[in-house]
Amino acid sequence: MFLPTTKREVEQLGWDNIDIILITGDSYIDSPFVGVAVIGKVLLNAGYRVGIIAQPDVTSNKDVGRIGEPKLFWGISGGCIDSMVANRTATGRKRKRDDYTPGGVNNRRPDRAVIVYSNLIRAHFKGTSPIVLGGIEASLRRIAHYDFWTDKIRRSILFDAKADYLLYGMAERSVVELASCIRDGNDPREIRGLCYISREIPDGCLKLPSFRKAAEDKNAFTGMFNSFYRNNDPITASPLAQRQDTRYLIQNPPALYLSGAELDAVHALEYERDLHPFYRRHGEVKALETIRFSIATHRGCYGECSFCAIAVHQGRTVRCRSKRSILAEARQIVSHPMFKGTIRDVGGPTANMYGFECSRKLKDGCCPKKRCLFPKICPELRINHEKQISLLKALRSIEGVRKVVVASGIRHDMVLADKKNGTRYLGEVVRNHVSGQMKIAPEHSEMHVLEKMGKPGRDVLLKFRDLFYTLTKKEGRKQFLTFYMIAAHPGCTESDMARLKSFSQSKLKLLPRQVQVFTPTPSTYSTLMYWTERDPFSGKPCFVEKTFRGRQRQKDALT
Ligand code: SF4
Ligand code: SF4
């Protein structure tokens, strides 16, 4: 079922009131790939009456008041992407298209959606139920953070939105705990994964530099970010406190990760894999083309690329679903009336992290001062693609499935590091799971830029390229590798882009078409470098191209 989005739908369900209303900056797509839909279904499954209002009109109460007022709380998400990233390009232009808006025109999501929606509720419902923030925008802006669009450090979004609580990361567990605390009149301030505002610092909190100090002093900001980043593992994290005005933001340690069985249970909930009919009259949403018939096999990523927020939002420990659960989802997909035979993607933040984790990490938490893949792949990881090979084979053999595509990114260095099954895995992918092109993301060719990104060097890339084409030739296929690159990352100059061009022409024999200008999104190490113009790992100064023109020129250098 779809969660109700109008009063009439609430009544049709036989509900005389509603416990929780979720507001989102995306349209309401009922899919396991859409956080607000997952949270809604998890709460429903826990016995709560939940409604969703998607992309409300922010100039009136006609949408936000559509269902009434919730008994327990309002939940606000900016959507699957930070609203500033969704609305603006890295060179400052307004984006015209939005893949999560019906009809595709980017006219429904306000800038700083989380703050705007919270103000909207406060304006129309005086003395209402608590307002709870969640989703990627709130999660990555939960402490003092650099904001590219105003070029300054902003305080916690919990303060700017004047909300009551913030749930960060993947919040299935904490949102159910919060709902039951509010329902039963208990104090929720011990819940893991929760941020709240306090006049005092509770015992045991690690005190971060204040917002003011972090905003004024780049060294203090760097120290603050390091502490924040290190205290993000559920096994080892301390609670954090950061003074914002006269009060403190308190961040409890992260929620314990869902076990494999719990993750399976989340995916076993019923999803329509479609846009709610209320919104369909405005057109289709493009995002559905890719997510409708895709399957997420796991969460988290230990890649820790400096520009990526997955480690902060989903965590550095990979948690996997069982093969049985994934196959059950595939069978459900096959029975969907619109399914034509192709599963569009099987993967996660990185496709080939399914099926193994470092046993030391599982027991003691992530290493505080070591990355799992960079500068070298840690031997404790024991990379093994065996389970992925077996999973892909089982998916292919389901009746009604013609093709299973692995469209999520593959870490090419991990394929080469798996001496036992890496070549076999790539062989399977090349033979059965590529749809014309396989995309990989080396991001650059110059080692001093790659070091800042936390990405492997060009030797690994060239070895992988050779292996891919050898296997492709063996299979007699016509398929290609395409490469994602980043321009204007901290440390990268126009000369570096010229060298990348020359490397691409001479070694890769093509010019990459997928070139993104680096966007300093909140709460990543690359953003820290952008703001401080210093490499936080070496402490040395670092060139950063900050002008829109210069950034665009870096991109153009590759065309
Ligand atoms: S490998 Fe991909 S998902 Fe993982 S940190 Fe790097 S960019 Fe992010
Ligand atoms: S021991 Fe190695 S693989 Fe395990 S968490 Fe530490 S760095 Fe990562």
Q: 380 CB less than 6 Å from ligand 2?
A: yes
Ligand 2 centroid, distance to 109 Cα (angstroms): 40
Ligand 2 centroid, distance to 426 Cα (angstroms): 24
Asked if residue 512 has pLDDT above 90, the reply is no
Q: 350 CB less than 6 Å from ligand 1?
A: yes
Against a cut of 0.75, is the pTM above it? yes
Give the separation between CA 519 and CA 488, rounded to whole angstroms: 9
* pLDDT band per the 50, 70, 90 thresholds, residue 524: very high
Question: What confidence tens digit (pLDDT) does each residue in 8-34 have?
Answer: 999 999 999 999 999 999 999 999 999
Question: What confidence tens digit (pLDDT) does each residue in 322-369 have?
Answer: 999 999 999 999 999 999 999 999 999 999 999 999 999 999 999 998
pLDDT at 432: 97
Mean pLDDT across the chain: 97
Secondary structure E strands in 285-344: 294-296, 298-299, 319-320, 342-343
Q: 455 CB less than 6 Å from ligand 2?
A: no
Q: 378 CB less than 6 Å from ligand 2?
A: yes
Q: 361 CB less than 6 Å from ligand 2?
A: yes
Give the separation between CA 242 and CA 245, rounded to whole angstroms: 9
Give the separation between CA 536 and CA 33, rounded to whole angstroms: 33
pLDDT at 522: 97
The two tokens of residue 422 are 């890496």
User: 3-state SS of 152-207?
Assistant: EEECCHHHHCCCCEEECCCCHHHHHHHHHHHHHCCCCCCCCCEEEEECCCCCCCEE
Sign of torsion, CA 376 379 382 385? positive
pLDDT at 278: 95
Q: Taking the CA of residue 339 as centre, how many other CA atoms within 13 Å lie in the half-sphere pointing to its CB?
A: 24
Q: Looking at ligand 2, which residue's alpha carbon is closest to its atom 6? A: 367
User: Under 8 Å CB-to-CB from 185, ≥6 apart: which residues?
Assistant: none
Q: 366 CB less than 6 Å from ligand 2?
A: yes
Ligand 1 centroid, distance to 49 Cα (angstroms): 36
* pLDDT band per the 50, 70, 90 thresholds, residue 435: confident
Enclosing H/E stretch for 146: strand 145-147
- Contact between 73 and 182 (Cβ < 8 Å): yes
Secondary structure E strands in 339-404: 342-343, 345-347, 403-404
Q: Omega before 375 cis (within 30°)? A: yes
Length of the chain, in residues: 559
Question: What confidence tens digit (pLDDT) does each residue in 395-418 have?
Answer: 999 999 999 999 999 999 999 999
Question: What confidence tens digit (pLDDT) does each residue in 129-163 have?
Answer: 999 999 999 999 999 999 999 999 999 999 999 99
User: Under 8 Å CB-to-CB from 419, ≥6 apart: which residues?
Assistant: none
| Residues paired with 134 in a beta bridge | 77
Strands 206-207 and 240-243: parallel
Asked if residue 179 has pLDDT above 90, the reply is yes
Give the separation between CA 132 and CA 311, rounded to whole angstroms: 23
Q: Looking at ligand 2, which residue's alpha carbon is closest to its atom 7? A: 372
Amino acid symbol at 408: S
* pLDDT band per the 50, 70, 90 thresholds, residue 91: confident
* Least confident interval from 7-21, 33-47, 87-101, 447-461: 87-101
| Residues paired with 197 in a beta bridge | 249
Nearest ligand 1 atom, CA 307: 7
Give the separation between CA 499 and CA 373, rounded to whole angstroms: 25
Q: Looking at ligand 2, which residue's alpha carbon is closest to its atom 8? A: 372
CA proximity to 351, closest of 408, 307, 270, 303: 408
Question: What confidence tens digit (pLDDT) does each residue in 258-276 have?
Answer: 999 999 999 999 999 999 9
| Residues paired with 345 in a beta bridge | 294
Question: What confidence tens digit (pLDDT) does each residue in 226-268 have?
Answer: 999 999 999 999 999 999 999 999 999 999 999 999 999 999 9
How far is residue 406 CA from its own chain's centroid? 18
- Contact between 487 and 517 (Cβ < 8 Å): yes
Which of 232, 316, 372 has the most ligand 2 atoms within 8 A of CB, as the residue to mutate?
372
The two tokens of residue 441 are 């993301």
CA proximity to 194, closest of 215, 164, 217: 164
The two tokens of residue 147 are 């904001």
Give the separation between CA 461 and CA 447, rounded to whole angstroms: 12
The two tokens of residue 85 are 């990233």
Q: 353 CB less than 6 Å from ligand 2?
A: no
Ligand 1 centroid, distance to 78 Cα (angstroms): 22
Report residue 13: phi and psi, to 5°: -80, -5
pLDDT at 361: 97
The two tokens of residue 367 are 């290493």
Q: 301 CB less than 6 Å from ligand 1?
A: yes
Nearest ligand 2 atom, CA 358: 4
Ligand 1 centroid, distance to 245 Cα (angstroms): 34
3-class state of residue 345 by DSSP? strand
* pLDDT band per the 50, 70, 90 thresholds, residue 513: confident
Enclosing H/E stretch for 307: none
Residue with tokens 């069978």: 331
User: Under 8 Å CB-to-CB from 549, ≥6 apart: which residues?
Assistant: none
Give the separation between CA 272 and CA 332, rounded to whole angstroms: 11
Strands 145-147 and 152-154: antiparallel
